[in-house]
Chain A
Amino acid sequence: MINTEYTKISKSSLLADVDVAIIGGGVVGCAVARRMSLEGASVVLIEKAADILDGASKGNSAILHTGFDAPVGTLEWECVQKGYQEYLDIRESLNLPLLKSGALVAAWTEEEESRFPDIMKKGAENGVKDLRLLSRGEALALEPNLSGELRAAIAVPREFVIDPWSAPLAYLTQALANGGKALFNAAVTGGEFTGNRWLLNTARGTVRSRYVINSAGLYGDILNRDVLGSSDFTIKPRKGQFVVFDKVASKLVRSIVLPVPTKRTKGIVLFPTIFGNLMVGPTAEEQDGRDDASVDKDILNDLQAQAIKNLPGLANIPVTATYAGIRPATERPEYRITEDVDRNWITLGGIRSTGLTSALGIAGHVHTLLQRQGADFTARKNPSIPRVPNLAEHLPRDCETPGYGEIVCHCEMVTQREIKAVLEDDLMPAGSLSGLKRRTRATMGRCQGFYCSARLAELTEGKFPEPIGVGESDE
């Protein structure tokens, strides 16, 4: 797909001419865009969808991991540690929420309990020094609604819950507020390295960039094959299904309840969300499709049953939503971060469930790699620090400040003012209905649009290529 015409392209016909082009608007891409823009680079984020977070980043568990169970000494472990700390450092200035839930690793069988010494040891090796072994009685005193089948638990006090969508939004918004650019509906179809610059062919035109960061997630290997000619890893999409319980369930448990992990996966977790729900998931299902986020009735019923088994009070609590996310697993468990130094290209591959936490750490690592490659940027003095809107249930919401117009989505208390702000945002208006939903929570509550679809259709009319309303009524 290499087009030699690119070399002849004049500067005026370029969509962007930058130091760093980041391909993929997931949490990792957004964090890299932020970091490099703060380091003084000119950046462009190139996304094939109409809005950010359209792939792996749209369906994760929203946990800020301490990394207590990460493979020690690995790059993943290092990025999780650094990402965790940086999130805590910057979150207040960007208005990002934090639910200090803490976690319990729960043992339900003797076999699981027998693995506790290993987990404690690993935690200590990983620098997570506040793990605490709890007896059955101690654990049940902390979480009295958990099933009496519980045998013991390990408390992980600094495992927290965050907003999986506002965090990357804040990262990219900060990049844009500091001169960065984002291109949507701009799938990269090919490119050519001219010796010191890349010319990237996108669905919307050509981008010139000194460095390219591949953060294309589920499509990272395909991108490398299309542009570099080969990829040293292959994405093995792994689907995770989730069941979201009604907000009344949040009264039942305060902590993230983790299972004893297996080699392959962290296992099925019961956890509060920042929006006040309680969730169970994810499953880990290998599949071929990179965009097949379909749910399966039997698996959802199993998940629900498993959640009820561990937390019996859930039996009478309605389900609000079900969904699936797809994680970009590869042939190997570790991160696949590679450099093509001759061609100024860095690939951030195989970033799975820890990506939300590690993204800021990965971004710092990218900066280090670029410096090693000879990039010499001067960090921005007094960078702009934009604040993103809060959607967390435990913090003040927009509807608590007068003058919001009307509440459009009653289940999630989303105001007309919030929807208008996202539709008309100066830096990055919502590009799709799902983008709008992630950035406001409209229709994501218990009625799933029974009450508000009509009003939302009216407010979003003409804004998105795929609208709610497909035509006028004959009535």
Chain B
Amino acid sequence: MSDIRKYGIYDVAIIGAGPAGLAAAAELKRSGVERVVVLDRETGAGGIPRHCGHPPFGIVEYKRVLTGPSYAKRIVATALESGVTILLKTTVTSLGTEGVLGIVSPDGPGELQAKRVLLATGTRETPRSARMVSGQRALGICNTGALQSMVYLKNRIPFKRPLVVGTEVVSFSALWTCKKAGIRPVAMIEEKSHPTVRWPIYYGARFFNVPLLLEIQIMSINGHERIESVRIRDAKGNEKEISCDGVLFTGQFTPESTLARTSHLEINQITGEPLVDDYGRCSDPNYYAAGNVLFAPVKVAGKCWQGGREAARLIVKDLAGSLK
């Protein structure tokens, strides 16, 4: 039988140990909140920056330029120094009323209760399937998140000559990762007539020596075991086959709000974010949200960190009974 309070009772439970969650946790402790726990399903804390192996991180928070992994270490250290408890490999499976969270961890299923819960579950890119792209399913299709975690956490590459889809900030971050990992993209393509990011980043494609093709539609992804080519069509209707061994779908961020969606909390049906009031409170006022789960489509780590700190300040007021 699962012990109803196996995972303890806290003042504030934070779901997600990325920049927003860790900033909020540290701020709560600094403000004198006693029992603060951060829950993360991954084996390491720090969130997405753990596998963004390039600068610039930490300018707002630490007044210096760090790479993602060094930044992730810093925010974890700051939280731990403040006395925050971080529980890793701890998956929240349900959000209940009265701040009761369903938990699964290698220690067994159970529950945890907190006076306030902060959702800081971040965001992720839209995969190929949800984009309804034509063609075959084969090895070598992934998002930037998968590419970067392979390169920076496991020292592996999923392809050598991919086609890069998208021209958002993250797309250029992906080009940077490719360059460092020895991957040579065959081209970067964009459906629109101009890149999503503008100067200065978009000159990046030139810097990385990757041809940038605009107004391009993917007609089909081809390959049986592994990707062999992608058929594209340009604005004039000309089609051609680009030979490649992978397709990297970048960006089109979508909030990782599954927990909220499957719970009693209300969802903004357009963005997929949990619905919040001016204080970042969800439809159940025991729940708050901060960071990229609220910043659709996406913001940089520094903004998430600031958002987490701001949410913490509101939660402190709320716990003291001074929030309207």
Residues of A bordering B, CB below 8 Å: 244, 246-248, 291-297, 300-301, 304, 316, 318-323, 399-407, 410-411, 413, 433, 446-451, 453-455, 457-458, 461, 466, 468-475
A470 touches B108 (CB 8 A): no
User: What 0/1 pattern do residues 153 to 169 of B give for CB contact below 8 A with A?
Assistant: 11111111000000000
Within 8 A of A (CB), among B109-155: 109, 124-125, 127-130, 132-137, 139-140, 142-143, 145-146, 149-155
Question: A471 and B124 in contact (CB under 8 A), knowing A406-B43, A406-B89?
Answer: no
Q: How far is the CA of A400 from the CA of B261 in the complex (A)?
A: 22
From the candidates B134, B154, B245, B254, name the one contacting A318 in the complex (CB within 8 A): B254
Q: Which 10 residue pairs of A and B lie closest in terms of their CB atoms, listed nearest first?
A: A474-B182, A469-B156, A448-B127, A454-B149, A453-B146, A402-B108, A473-B181, A316-B269, A454-B150, A297-B134
In this complex, what residue of B is CB-closest to A50? B225
Question: A410 and B130 in contact (CB under 8 A), knowing A451-B124, A457-B154?
Answer: no
From the candidates B51, B104, B127, name the one contacting A449 in the complex (CB within 8 A): B127
In this complex, what residue of A is CB-closest to B133? A297
In this complex, what residue of A is CB-closest to B137? A323
Q: How far is the CA of A466 from the CA of B228 in the complex (A)?
A: 14
Given contacts A292-B136, A321-B129, 5 further A-B pairs with CB under 8 A are A247-B258, A400-B109, A457-B154, A472-B157, A473-B156
Q: How far is the CA of A296 from the CA of B132 in the complex (A)?
A: 8
A453 touches B150 (CB 8 A): yes
B158 touches A470 (CB 8 A): yes
Q: Output the least CB separation between B310 and chain A (Å).
A: 27
From the candidates A248, A322, A461, name the one contacting B132 in the complex (CB within 8 A): A322
A471 touches B160 (CB 8 A): yes
A449 touches B142 (CB 8 A): yes
Could you write out 5 A-B pairs with CB less than 8 Å apart? A297-B132, A318-B130, A400-B108, A410-B41, A451-B149
A449 touches B146 (CB 8 A): yes
Q: Is the interface of A mostly helix, strand, loop or mixed?
A: loop
Q: How far is the CA of A171 from the CA of B107 in the complex (A)?
A: 33
Residues of B bordering A, CB below 8 Å: 41-43, 51, 53, 89, 91, 104, 106-109, 124-125, 127-130, 132-137, 139-140, 142-143, 145-146, 149-160, 180-182, 220-222, 224-226, 245, 254, 256, 258, 261-262, 267, 269-270, 272
A475 touches B151 (CB 8 A): yes
Q: How far is the CA of A247 from the CA of B263 in the complex (A)?
A: 12
Q: How far is the CA of A433 from the CA of B155 in the complex (A)?
A: 20
Q: How far is the CA of A454 from the CA of B48 in the complex (A)?
A: 13
Q: How far is the CA of A85 from the CA of B129 in the complex (A)?
A: 36
Q: Output the least CB separation between B42 and chain A (Å).
A: 8
Contacts of B160 in A (CB 8 A): 470-471
Q: Output the least CB separation between B135 and chain A (Å).
A: 5
B139 touches A468 (CB 8 A): yes
Contacts of B258 in A (CB 8 A): 246-248, 411, 446
Q: Output the least CB separation between A301 and chain B (Å).
A: 6
Contacts of A470 in B (CB 8 A): 140, 157-160, 245
Q: Output the least CB separation between A228 and chain B (Å).
A: 28
